[in-house]
C-alpha cells in the first residue's frame, strides 16, 4: 500500500492528517499506562500547528504517532485518507523519507560525519543522485547561514548551528511535513528566535509545520494551537496568525531520483562508509574482535602450507627410489601357503622380457647379500648388491665420482664396484678420491669405479647406516653367491603410461612366463598415493582444529556487533526517522561484520606468510612451506561467510528496533 502524493489534486481535497479516537498505551511491568485518550484531530496542508502541554501530557507521543515513528494502540490515523495502520515497516519508512522532516530538541546528528553528509543522509535512502544530493545539502546549509561549516562535524558546531543542520536535514527531500519536537528547547534566546523565524518562513512556502512545545510564547507564534493535558485534548484553536496558504513545497525527489539499482548501490556505499567510520572510531575494539579471525585464518593457511611443504619434501625424497617404478620380487605373496617352497623363480630372462615391453624405459635386476669387506687393516660387515647397468637410472641415485656400469660390465662379469657414501667414509676416511682402489669382498677383489652421492632423504638403499657396495649382478651371481636366480628387478615405467596399467601388464606377462603368480609386485606410485592421502588427512585434521579458532572468532564478532548495536541505538533511530528501510539498517551492520572478518582474514593471511617466511629461513633448503592458492581463497571466503553468519543476528536485531525507543537512548 502506498501514500498519495500530497501535490496531486485528489490529495489536496483530503485533509493532510486525520486522527480518529487514537489511544496510546504503554506497558509498565504488570500495569498498563494510557498516555493518550481518544484523540481526534484534523490537520490540513500548509498549517503551522503548535502542540502544547506540560511534561507528561503526551504531546511528544502524539508527534511520534503523527510522524509514523510510533503506532497507536487503538483508533485510526490517516494520511490523505489512507490508514497508516495498514502500512508495512518499509512503507512507513518511505513515508518518513519522502514526506516528513524531523527536527529534534537534541538535534540527533550523526557524530562521525560532517554537516553536509548529515544533511544528505535522507537523500541517500531516497535514491537522490549523488551530485544533486551534495549540491542541495550545501545549498540548504548556505541558505541557513552555515556556508562555512559544511565540512564541520557536529562536535565542532554550536547548539544553534547543530539545530540548523537538523532543519536542513528535514528539508533535504522536500520536507512537506516538518515535525519539530521542542526545536528551541536546548538553544539560547537568539538561536531560538532564529529557528522560529526559519519555521515561519518554511510555513509561508507551503510546508506543514507541527511543533511540540511547552512554551506558550512559542505556541502563540503558530497559526493553530492544540493543547494537551494528561493525554486529553483540552483546547484546539486558531491564533491571530492563521491564514490558509496556497503555496506548495517544491518537489525535490522527482527531479533527481536515480534508478532502483543505482540507488541500491548508493545505499551500499553509504553503509560501507559508515562501517569504516565505526571501525575507525573503535580501533582497539575492532582489532581485538579481529584477533580470533586472524589467528584462525593464519592457523589454517599455515597448517595447509606446512602440510603441502611436508608432502612435497617427502615426495621429493621418494624420488630417490625412482620415479614411476615397479619392483618385481621373487616368491609368492605374503600369507600365501605356497610361499614356503616358492623361492628361486626370478631369472635375468624375466627381467629382460619386461625390459622389452614398449612401456618400460629400463630395468635393473637385483640381488643382495651381506659379507665382510676389507681394505688394508679395515674390515667391516657390508651390504653388497648386484645390480644392472641401468640401476642409477631406475633408482634415482647419482654419482659424485667415477662412472657407472655399462653393457660390458654385465656381459664380462667385471669385478668393478660402486660404493656409497657410508662405504667411502668407512674404508677411505682420509682418501678424497678412492677411484681405482681395491676392496676384498669376501674372497673376491673389487675395483672402485664410482662413488654415490650422499642420500639424507631417509628413503632408498643409500639411506641405510651400514656401508653398501654395488657390483654387476652377473658378477655377484657367478663369483660371489653362485646362483642362477635373481631376487628382484626394478622396472622404470614411461611417464606417459599409467603405472597401474603397467603393473597389470607386467603381472600378466610374468604369470604367462611362470604359469603362476610366484612373484610380488610393488608399485612406487602406491607409496606416493599413500603419503599424499596421509599428509592430506593430517592436514585436514589439524586444519579442523584451527577452524575452531575461526568459530570462536566468529562468536567474538557477533558479541562485539551486539554491543555495537546497543551503543549505536540512537544512530539507528535517527536513520529510521529519516527514512532508512529495515534492510538498509541490516545492510549496514552486516557489512560492518563482514568487513571486520575480511580485514581479519587478510591480516591472518599476512601473518601466515610471515610465519612461513620465518620457517623457510630457519629450515633452509631442507624444508619449505608451500602456500596453496586454494587454501588462501578458501580462508578468505571462510572469513567472509563467518562475517555474514555471525553478523546476521546483530544486524537483524538492529533492523527490528523500534524507532521511538531507539531515538530515546543516548
331 versus 339: the higher-pLDDT residue is 331
Asked if 131 and 165 touch (Cβ cutoff 8 Å), the reply is no
State which H helix or E strand residue 605 sits in: helix 582-619
Lowest mean pLDDT among 14-23, 293-302, 507-516, 566-575: 293-302
Quick one: which of 377, 396, 220 has its CA closest to 316? 396
Q: Which residues contact 502 (CB under 8 A, 6 or more apart)?
A: 326, 359, 360, 491, 493, 494
Reduced to 3 states (helix: H, G, I; strand: E, B; else coil), residue 462 is: helix
Lowest mean pLDDT among 233-237, 292-296, 390-394: 292-296
List pLDDT tens digits, range 421-430. 999 999 999 9
Phi/psi for 464 (5° steps) reads -70, 150
Packed helices 115-126 and 260-281: angle between N→C axes, nearest 10 degrees? 140
- pLDDT, mean of residues 631-648: 83
Percent of the chain with pLDDT over 70: 91
Asked if 281 and 595 touch (Cβ cutoff 8 Å), the reply is no
Confidence of residue 257 (pLDDT cuts 50, 70, 90): confident
Confidence of residue 192 (pLDDT cuts 50, 70, 90): confident
Best-predicted range by mean pLDDT among 233-247, 431-445, 459-473, 521-535? 431-445
Percent of the chain with pLDDT over 90: 35
- Provide the pLDDT for residue 74: 93
- DSSP assignment of 401-455 equals EE----HHHHHTT--EEEE-HHHHHHH-TT-S--TT-EEEETTEEEEEEEEEPP-
b vs e for 195-204, b when ≥16 Cβ sit within 10 Å of the residue's Cβ?
A: bbebbeebbe
Q: pLDDT averaged over the chain?
A: 85
| CA 270/CA 278 separation, integer angstroms | 12
How does DSSP classify residue 257?
Answer: B
| CA 460/CA 391 separation, integer angstroms | 12
How does DSSP classify residue 498?
Answer: -
- Provide the pLDDT for residue 382: 94
Confidence of residue 105 (pLDDT cuts 50, 70, 90): confident
| CA 245/CA 496 separation, integer angstroms | 92
- Provide the pLDDT for residue 9: 45
pLDDT at 534 over 50: yes
Cell numbers given for 600: 581479519
287 versus 5: the higher-pLDDT residue is 287
- pLDDT, mean of residues 240-254: 75
| pTM of model > 0.75 | no
Cell numbers given for 573: 533511530
For CA atoms 448, 453, 455, 460, the dihedral sign is negative
Q: Which residues contact 391 (CB under 8 A, 6 or more apart)?
A: 364, 366, 397, 404, 405, 470, 490
Cell numbers given for 46: 500548509
Q: How many CA atoms lie within 13 A of 155 on its CB side?
A: 3
State which H helix or E strand residue 631 sits in: helix 629-655
- Provide the pLDDT for residue 361: 92
Asked if 435 and 449 touch (Cβ cutoff 8 Å), the reply is yes
State which H helix or E strand residue 157 sits in: none
Alpha-carbon separation of residue 224 from 44, 167, 242, 588 (angstroms): 11, 21, 7, 41
| CA 555/CA 551 separation, integer angstroms | 6
10 versus 362: the higher-pLDDT residue is 362
Largest CA distance in the chain: 136
Confidence of residue 320 (pLDDT cuts 50, 70, 90): low
Best-predicted range by mean pLDDT among 257-261, 521-525, 654-658? 654-658
State which H helix or E strand residue 237 sits in: strand 232-238
pLDDT at 340 over 70: no
Specify the residue for cell string 507551503: 206
Pairing mode, strands 444-452 and 438-441 = antiparallel
Q: How many residues are listed for the chain in this entry?
A: 666
Packed helices 629-655 and 524-567: angle between N→C axes, nearest 10 degrees? 20
- Provide the pLDDT for residue 276: 84
pLDDT at 456 over 50: yes
- Provide the pLDDT for residue 409: 94
Confidence of residue 48 (pLDDT cuts 50, 70, 90): very high
Alpha-carbon separation of residue 130 from 97, 133, 265, 271, 413 (angstroms): 16, 5, 11, 15, 92
Pairing mode, strands 416-419 and 444-452 = parallel
pLDDT at 540 over 80: no
pLDDT at 7 over 70: no
- Provide the pLDDT for residue 460: 52
Number of Cβ within a 10 Å radius of residue 286: 20
Confidence of residue 463 (pLDDT cuts 50, 70, 90): very low
Q: Which residues pair with 382 in a beta bridge?
A: 371
- Provide the pLDDT for residue 387: 95
pLDDT at 245 over 80: no
Task: State the first-to-last Cα distance of the chain, in angstroms, to the nearest integer.
Answer: 34
Asked if 392 and 448 touch (Cβ cutoff 8 Å), the reply is no
- Provide the pLDDT for residue 231: 92
Cα 577–Cα 579–Cα 584 angle in degrees, nearest 5: 110
| CA 120/CA 135 separation, integer angstroms | 9
Cα dihedral 266, 270, 272, 276, rounded to 10, equals 150
- Provide the pLDDT for residue 323: 58
- Provide the pLDDT for residue 618: 81
Q: What percent helix, strand, coil does the chain show, rounded to 5?
A: 50, 20, 30
- Provide the pLDDT for residue 379: 93
Reduced to 3 states (helix: H, G, I; strand: E, B; else coil), residue 614 is: helix
Quick one: which of 84, 173, 185, 91 has its CA closest to 137? 173
- Provide the pLDDT for residue 165: 93
pLDDT at 613 over 50: yes
251 versus 10: the higher-pLDDT residue is 251
| CA 525/CA 533 separation, integer angstroms | 12
- pLDDT, mean of residues 629-640: 80
pLDDT at 224 over 90: yes
pLDDT at 2 over 50: no
Specify the residue for cell string 503526551: 58
- Provide the pLDDT for residue 666: 63
Asked if 423 and 452 touch (Cβ cutoff 8 Å), the reply is no
Amino acid at each position: 500500500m502506498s501514500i498519495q502524493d500530497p501535490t496531486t489534486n485528489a490529495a489536496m481535497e483530503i485533509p493532510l492528517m486525520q486522527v480518529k479516537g487514537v489511544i496510546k498505551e504503554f506497558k509498565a511491568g504488570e500495569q498498563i499506562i494510557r498516555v493518550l485518550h481518544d484523540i481526534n484531530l484534523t490537520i490540513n496542508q500548509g498549517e503551522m500547528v503548535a502542540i502544547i502541554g506540560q511534561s507528561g501530557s503526551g504531546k511528544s507521543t502524539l508527534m511520534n504517532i503523527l510522524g509514523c515513528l510510533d503506532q497507536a494502540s487503538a483508533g485510526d490515523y490517516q494520511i490523505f485518507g489512507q490508514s497508516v495502520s495498514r502500512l508495512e515497516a518499509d512503507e512507513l519508512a518511505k513515508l518518513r523519507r519522502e514526506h516528513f522532516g524531523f527536527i529534534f530538541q537534541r538535534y540527533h546528528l550523526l557524530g562521525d560525519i560532517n554537516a553536509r553528509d548529515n544533511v544528505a543522509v535522507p537523500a541517500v535512502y531516497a535514491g537522490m543522485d549523488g551530485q544533486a544530493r551534495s549540491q542541495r545539502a550545501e545549498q540548504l546549509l548556505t541558505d541557513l547561514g552555515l556556508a562555512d561549516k559544511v565540512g564541520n562535524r557536529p562536535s565542532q558546531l554550536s547548539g544553534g548551528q547543530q539545530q540548523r543542520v537538523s532543519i536542513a536535514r528535514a528539508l533535504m527531500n522536500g520536507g512537506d511535513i516538518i515535525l519539530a519536537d521542542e526545536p528551541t528547547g536546548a538553544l539560547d534566546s537568539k538561536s531560538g528566535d532564529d529557528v522560529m523565524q526559519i519555521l515561519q518562513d518554511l510555513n509561508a512556502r507551503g510546508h506543514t509545520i507541527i511543533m511540540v512545545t511547552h512554551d506558550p510564547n512559542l505556541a502563540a507564534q503558530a497559526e493553530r494551537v492544540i493543547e494537551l493535558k494528561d493525554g486529553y485534548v483540552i483546547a484546539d484553536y486558531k491564533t491571530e496568525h492563521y491564514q490558509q496558504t496556497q503555496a506548495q513545497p517544491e518537489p525535490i525527489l522527482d527531479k533527481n531520483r536515480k534508478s532502483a539499482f543505482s540507488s541500491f548501490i548508493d545505499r551500499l556505499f553509504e553503509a560501507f562508509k559508515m562501517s569504516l567510520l565505526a571501525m575507525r572510531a573503535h580501533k582497539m575494539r575492532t582489532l581485538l574482535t579481529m584477533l580470533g579471525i586472524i589467528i584462525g585464518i593464519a592457523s589454517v593457511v599455515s597448517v595447509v602450507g606446512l602440510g603441502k611443504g611436508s608432502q612435497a619434501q617427502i615426495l621429493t625424497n621418494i624420488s630417490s627410489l625412482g620415479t614411476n617404478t615397479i619392483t618385481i620380487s621373487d616368491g609368492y605373496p605374503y600369507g600365501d601357503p605356497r610361499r614356503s617352497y616358492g623361492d628361486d623363480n626370478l631369472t635375468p630372462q624375466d627381467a629382460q622380457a619386461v625390459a622389452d615391453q614398449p612401456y618400460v624405459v629400463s630395468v635393473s635386476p637385483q640381488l643382495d647379500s651381506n659379507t665382510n669387506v676389507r681394505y688394508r687393516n679395515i674390515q667391516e660387515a657390508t651390504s653388497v648388491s648386484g645390480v644392472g647397468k641401468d640401476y642409477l637410472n631406475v633408482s634415482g641415485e647419482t654419482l659424485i665420482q667415477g662412472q657407472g656400469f655399462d653393457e660390458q660390465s654385465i656381459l664380462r662379469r667385471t669385478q668393478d664396484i660402486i660404493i656409497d657414501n657410508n662405504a667411502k667414509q668407512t674404508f677411505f676416511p682420509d682418501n678424497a678420491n678412492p677411484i681405482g682402489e681395491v676392496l676384498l669382498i669376501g674372497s673376491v677383489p673389487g675395483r672402485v669405479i664410482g662413488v654415490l652421492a650422499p642420500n639424507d632423504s631417509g628413503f632408498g638403499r643409500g639411506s641405510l647406516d651400514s656401508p653398501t657396495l654395488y657390483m654387476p649382478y652377473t658378477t655377484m651371481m657367478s663369483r660371489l653367491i653362485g646362483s642362477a636366480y635373481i631376487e628382484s628387478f626394478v622396472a622404470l615405467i614411461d611417464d606417459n603410461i599409467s603405472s597401474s596399467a603397467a603393473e597389470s601388464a607386467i603381472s600378466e606377462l610374468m604369470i604367462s612366463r611362470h604359469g603362476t603368480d610366484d612373484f610380488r609386485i610393488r608399485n612406487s606410485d602406491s607409496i606416493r598415493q599413500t603419503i599424499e592421502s596421509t599428509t592430506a588427512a593430517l592436514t585436514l585434521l589439524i586444519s579442523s582444529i584451527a577452524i575452531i579458532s575461526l568459530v570462536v572468532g566468529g562468536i567474538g564478532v557477533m558479541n562485539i556487533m551486539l554491543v555495537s548495536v546497543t551503543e549505536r541505538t540512537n544512530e539507528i533511530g535517527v536513520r529510521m526517522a529519516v527514512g532508512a528501510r529495515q534492510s538498509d539498517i541490516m545492510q549496514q551492520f552486516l557489512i560492518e561484520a563482514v568487513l571486520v572478518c575480511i580485514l581479519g582474514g587478510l591480516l591472518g593471511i599476512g601473518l601466515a606468510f610471515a610465519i612461513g617466511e620465518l620457517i623457510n629461513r630457519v629450515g633452509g633448503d631442507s624444508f619449505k612451506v608451500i602456500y596453496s592458492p586454494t587454501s588462501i581463497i578458501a580462508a578468505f571466503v571462510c572469513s567472509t561467510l563467518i562475517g555474514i553468519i555471525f553478523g546476521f543476528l546483530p544486524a537483524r536485531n538492529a533492523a527490528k528496533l523500534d524507532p521511538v525507543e531507539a531515538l530515546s537512548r543516548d
